């Protein structure tokens, strides 16, 4: 058994984003229901319904914990958390900065690749996570690792890029950002229960579908996948920014090289878009984009979405 709760289905900035008045953000503020507000990218997974692992830790984690009774301290303890561990798929600010909220001398474990652990290690602000309580563990490509009670992950590299705040340094050091290359900067995860009966894939950031990734995902019962943008240049044409989805390390949903086309032949039973940016019109319940995603068999994650795998 695996229980999955989507804590935050939005990409960095959330929906609405504090300084954005695009069509989607404005609709989210209007309260009409056309766009349901979303917090930033994170899921919680439990193999026993009691102890939880957080996958990616957004700056909204405080609100997300407050909103989910499963994640509250148990009765009879003054200090307690059902959160056993945090697993990171990259060092992007929307996935990492929530760790600063999960402080206060509470024991739990953090799992990430060496590359991402290095980002944490070289930023002294993360010393607020007292090393006496919070232990850090490396995830290695294709190495099955236990991350919680009865809960395992198999990490694999996916096309991505270094975190935005480290781009300039990487350019200075290596003269190239290697966007779309498979490095320890960005991983996907197969997440599964001890007996292996329940499993799914969590890939909130991916710059492109590769043949090995397509083979890995073929026939999966559930994939939660990067839904950042609908089309590559939507931030540019929406006058929201200068960057394309590709430049940010995200493949788009639509188009010949998009994720909907890439998944069409893979026979995945349940496909859920997650990490959805507020520029993406798929968030509008009555948009043609939403209808197209529906027709292609995709679900659009929302905060509080709960999935049980048996
Ligand atoms: C991303 O998903 O591309 C990043 O979260 C962007 C950011 O760092 O804000
Ligand atoms: Mn992000
Ligand atoms: Zn917006």
Strand partners, 83: 52
Rounded to two decimals, the pTM is: 0.98
Average pLDDT on 8-34 reads 98
Per-residue pLDDT tens digits for 44-84: 999 999 999 999 999 999 999 999 999 999 999 999 999 99
Question: Over the chain, what is the mean pLDDT?
Answer: 97
Instruction: Kindly list the protein residues that place their beta carbon closer than 5 angstroms to ligand 2, a single-atom ion.
Output: 11-12, 92, 94
Choose among 92, 259, 105: nearest CA to 162: 92
Distances (CA, A) of 139 to 41, 88, 90, 283, 295: 20, 9, 11, 33, 37
Residues 193, 241 contacting (CB under 8 angstroms): no
Distance between CA atoms of residues 53 and 116, nearest Å: 18
Q: What 8-state DSSP symbol labels residue 91?
A: -
Give all domains of the chain, ordered by start, each with its CATH number. Answer: 2-309 (3.60.15.10)
Average pLDDT on 16-21 reads 98
Listed in sequence order, the DSSP H helices in 122-210 are: 167-174
Phi, psi (degrees; rounded to nearest 5) at 65: -70, -40
Q: With residue 213 as reference, give the H or E element that holds it.
A: helix 211-217
Per-residue pLDDT tens digits for 88-121: 999 999 999 999 999 989 999 999 999 999 999 9
Q: What 8-state DSSP symbol labels residue 74?
A: P
Residue 67 tokens read as 């909103």
Phi, psi (degrees; rounded to nearest 5) at 213: -70, -45
Residue 221 tokens read as 């019962």
Ligand 1, closest atom to CA 13? 9
Choose among 5, 1, 2: nearest CA to 302: 5
Distance of CA 248 from the midpoint of ligand 1 (Å): 7
Distances (CA, A) of 58 to 93, 151, 170: 8, 21, 24
Nearest CA to ligand 1 atom 4: 92
Ligand 1, closest atom to CA 165? 8
Residue 5 tokens read as 């709760």
Per-residue pLDDT tens digits for 164-219: 999 999 999 998 899 999 999 999 999 999 999 999 999 999 999 999 999 999 99
Distance of CA 95 from the midpoint of ligand 1 (Å): 8
């Amino acid at each position: 058994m695996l229980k999955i709760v989507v804590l935050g289905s939005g990409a960095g900035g959330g929906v609405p984003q504090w300084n954005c008045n695009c069509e989607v953000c404005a609709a989210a503020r209007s309260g009409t229901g056309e766009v349901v507000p979303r917090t930033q990218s994170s899921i919680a997974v439990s193999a026993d319904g009691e102890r939880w692992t957080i996958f990616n830790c957004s700056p909204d984690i405080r609100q997300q914990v407050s909103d989910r009774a499963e994640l509250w301290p148990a009765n009879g303890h003054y200090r307690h958390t059902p959160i056993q561990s945090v697993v990171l798929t990259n060092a992007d600010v929307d996935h990492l900065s929530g760790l600063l909220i999960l402080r206060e001398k509470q024991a739990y474990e953090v799992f990430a690749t060496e590359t991402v652990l290095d980002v944490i290690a070289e930023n002294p602000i993360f010393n607020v996570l007292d090393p006496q309580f919070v232990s850090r563990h490396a995830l290695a490509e294709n190495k099955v690792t236990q991350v919680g009670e009865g809960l395992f992950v198999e990490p694999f590299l996916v096309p991505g890029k270094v975190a935005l705040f480290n781009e300039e340094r990487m350019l200075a050091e290596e003269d190239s950002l290697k966007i779309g290359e498979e490095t320890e900067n960005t991983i996907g995860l197969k997440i599964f229960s001890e007996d292996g009966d329940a499993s799914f894939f969590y890939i909130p950031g991916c710059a492109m579908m590769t043949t090995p990734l397509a083979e890995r995902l073929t026939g999966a019962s559930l994939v939660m996948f990067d839904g950042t943008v609908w089309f590559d240049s939507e931030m540019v044409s929406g006058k929201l920014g200068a960057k394309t989805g590709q430049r940010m390390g995200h493949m788009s949903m639509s188009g010949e090289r998009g994720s909907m086309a890439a998944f069409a032949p893979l026979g995945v039973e349940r496909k859920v878009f997650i990490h959805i940016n507020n520029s993406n019109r798929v968030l509008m319940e009555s948009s043609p984009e939403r209808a197209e995603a529906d027709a292609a068999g995709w679900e659009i994650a929302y905060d509080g979405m709960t999935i049980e795998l048996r």
